[in-house]
Amino acid sequence: MKSAVAGLAPAAPARGMTGPLPQILGVLRKVLRSPVGAASAAVILAYVLVAVFAPVVAPYAPDATDLGARLRPPSAEHRFGTDGLGRDILTRVLYGARVSLLVGSLTVAITATFGTVLGVLGGFYRGTFDAVSGRLTELLLAFPYLIFAIGMMAFLGPGFANLVLALSLKGWVEFYRLARGETLDQAEREYVEASRALGQRSLRTLFREVLPNVLPSILVLATLRVGYFMVLEASLSFLGVGIPPTIPAWGSMIAEGRNVLFIAWWVSTLPGLALLVLVLAINLFGDRLQEAFDPKRRNR
């Protein structure tokens, strides 16, 4: 635990006494102390709380229809108005946070883990394994992301698990490339050679020395990818190939509102605004994180 204390020092050098993991903690602390970092973290936290406690905070049930109150504009009774089936839009927006956050975080967890492990192994050991995964990433990179996901979802069919699968099948590539590049970079440094010279087993060197030094950039990428996956999910649900319409999701809510755009502006715009604010907060947080890890990148 003593290393965690060392991490308190802001902007600790990457190596030396402190080590990379305390450095990550220190950087997080620094980001949370900056106004933008704190504000965006607060917004993200609010969304997470809303998603978890949706049944408590939502004024209505998400699927409660009221055909007598269809397409009502925002009012004291329905703060965000109602949709074509008389459902309360605020309620559905609150519940929609669940899908977005789940898809975003789950996909990032899967792709970041898979991609990083593969990339670190490939960059460290090279050889056939590295060559094969390299070819595979080239192939996946040939597909624009949304096109690949639409193609996969067209054939797999809508659904939560299929959606995460379709996004993950391609999403690991960026993590792989970043992890591999950073590992190649680290493997040439003295501390790796030193630990090899000391006769340490290479797997130990890899996980104890190399991986922790690769983690900061992976963390930045992971943060930014959460927002990206959320927008992708919303795009797919908007097109009708993502989350099935029975589950409240922002993308499909926007799609429903599209048909009544000329008479009820609130049906589409408000779920979209909810998505925009969340993704913006995540991107701002990721931006600050990147800056804190790598101050040289400021102003670029």
Partner 1 sequence: MSKVIKRLVAAVPVSLGVAIVAFLFLRFLPGDPVEIMLGDTNVTQQQVEQLRSEMNLDRPLLEQLGLFLAGVAGGDLGYSIVKNQPVARLILDTLPATIELTFFTILVAIAIALPVGIVSALKAGSWLDRLVLGTTLVGVSMPAFWFGLLLILLFSVELGVLPTSGRIPAAVLVPDRTGFMLIDTLLAGDLRAFGAALRHLVLPSLTLGVVFAVVLARVVRSSMVEVMGRDYVTTARSKGLPERVVVIKHALRNALIPALTVTGLQIGELLGGNMIVETIFSWPGLGRLVVSSIFARDYVVVQAAVMLYALTYVAVNLVVDVLYTYLNPRIAL
Structure-block tokens of residue 72 = 């009502």
Nearer to partner 1, 102 or 239 (CB): 239
Q: Which stretch binds partner 1 (CB under 8 A): 53-61, 172-180, 226-234, 288-296?
A: 226-234
Minimum distance, C-beta of residue 82 to partner 1, in the bound complex (Å): 18
- The number of residues that bind partner 1 (CB under 8 A) is 45
Minimum distance, C-beta of residue 283 to partner 1, in the bound complex (Å): 5
* Collapsed DSSP state (helix, strand, coil) of residue 86: coil
Minimum distance, C-beta of residue 224 to partner 1, in the bound complex (Å): 10
Which amino acid, 268?
S
Q: Does 34 bind partner 1 (CB under 8 A)?
A: no
Q: Does 194 bind partner 1 (CB under 8 A)?
A: no
Distance of CA 164 to CAs 60, 86, 152, 177, Å?
29, 30, 11, 20
Q: Does 300 bind partner 1 (CB under 8 A)?
A: yes
Q: What is the rounded CA–CA span in Å between residue 12 and residue 6?
A: 8
Query: Among 74, 134, 245, 272, which residue interacts with partner 1 (rule: CB under 8 A)?
Result: 272
Nearer to partner 1, 1 or 147 (CB): 147
Q: Does 268 bind partner 1 (CB under 8 A)?
A: yes
Minimum distance, C-beta of residue 81 to partner 1, in the bound complex (Å): 14
Query: Among 71, 156, 184, 219, which residue interacts with partner 1 (rule: CB under 8 A)?
Result: 156
* Binding flags for partner 1, 227-266, as an x/- string (CB under 8 A): x---x--xx--xxxx---------x--x--xx--xx--x-
Q: Give one DSSP letter per residue of 216-282, joined into a string.
A: HHHHHHHHHHHHHHHHHHHHHHHHTSSS-TTS--HHHHHHHHHTTTTT-THHHHHHHHHHHHHHHHH
In the region spanning residues 100 to 129, those forming contacts with partner 1, defined by CB under 8 A, are: none
Minimum distance, C-beta of residue 39 to partner 1, in the bound complex (Å): 13
Q: Does 144 bind partner 1 (CB under 8 A)?
A: yes
Minimum distance, C-beta of residue 8 to partner 1, in the bound complex (Å): 30
Task: State the sign of the Cα–Cα–Cα–Cα dihedral 153, 101, 69, 67.
Answer: positive
List all residues 6 or more positions away from 23 whose beta carbon is below 8 Å from its beta carbon. Answer: 7, 12, 13, 14, 216
Which amino acid, 281?
A
Structure-block tokens of residue 167 = 């996004």
Task: State the sign of the Cα–Cα–Cα–Cα dihedral 43, 47, 52, 57.
Answer: positive
Distance of CA 193 to CAs 129, 197, 214, Å?
22, 6, 16
List all residues 6 or more positions away from 52 whose beta carbon is below 8 Å from its beta carbon. Answer: none
Q: Does 40 bind partner 1 (CB under 8 A)?
A: no
The answer to whether the beta carbons of residues 83 and 89 sit under 8 Å apart is: yes
Query: Which spans of this chain sit near partner 1 (rule: CB under 8 A)?
Result: 135, 138-139, 142-148, 150-152, 154-157, 227, 231, 234-235, 238-241, 251, 254, 257-258, 261-262, 265, 268-269, 272, 275-276, 279-280, 282-284, 287, 299-300
